[in-house]
Structure 1
Amino acid sequence: MPRTKTLHAIFDGNVLRPEESVDLEPNVRYLITIERKEETGQSLWDILSKFSGKVEGPEDWSKEHDHYLYGIPKREKGRTE
């Protein structure tokens, strides 16, 4: 049964050097698949902010969203339903 191992390595121009120790059996042929790891330097919030935006609307948008979306009457002031 084949085992799959993922590791990070740096290519120095001649050879791939693993960033951590590897537990591989010596003198065994291995199949290596190479995928470039893009380092963005951005946080998750920076990446997500590309997909977010703002919607212009009335100040009570969040409290009265049913009124604006479905046309039901606005809630009475003071009600806490």
Structure 2
Amino acid sequence: MSANEQLTAIFDGSVLRLEQPINLEPNKRYLIAIIAEDNQSGDAWDVLENLAGTIEAPEDWSSEHNHYLYGTNKQHSEA
């Protein structure tokens, strides 16, 4: 295992259980950062699917995003 390698673990209420074996030097002190993994799929499409429809926005947001983000003129007139 190299320095700064990321590992995943599950906390069972008492201890952290690693999901893969590791090769560490015994009796050596290690620094561990705990970061919750909210989306366990790791797939960007799943993240987008989970977020779709969760933000209220104008109906033309996707086609006029520059207008809403940067204040430019709208590209398509509303008929």
User: Which TM-score applies when normalising by structure 2?
Assistant: 0.51
Deviation digits for residues 29-75 of structure 1, max 9, x if unmatched? 101111111137781341453468743xxxxxxxxxxxx8389xxxx
Total equivalences in the alignment: 58
SS at match of 1:43: helix
Q: For CA contacts below 8 A with separation 6 or more, give which structure has more relative contact order.
A: 2
Give the RMSD, CA atoms, in angstroms.
3.4
Q: 2:49 aligns with which of 43, 46, 50?
A: 46
Q: Which has the larger radius of gyration?
A: 1
Alpha-carbon distance in structure 1 between the residues aligned to 2:21 and 2:36: 20
**How many percent of aligned residue pairs carry the same amino acid?**
34
Match of 2:6 in 1: 6
Match of 2:34 in 1: 34
Deviation digits for residues 7-45 of structure 1, max 9, x if unmatched? 110111221110111121111110111111113778134
Structure 1 48/21 Cα, relative in aligned 2: closer, same or farther at 3 Å? Answer: same
Alpha-carbon distance in structure 2 between the residues aligned to 1:38 and 1:46: 15
Match of 2:64 in 1: none
User: Which TM-score applies when normalising by structure 1?
Assistant: 0.50
Query: Which consecutive unaligned segments of at least 5 residues does structure 2 have?
Result: 61-73
Structure 1 53/16 Cα, relative in aligned 2: closer, same or farther at 3 Å? Answer: same
Query: Which consecutive unaligned segments of at least 5 residues does structure 1 have?
Result: 56-67, 72-81
Where does structure 1 differ by over 6 angstroms across 4 or more consecutive aligned residues?
none
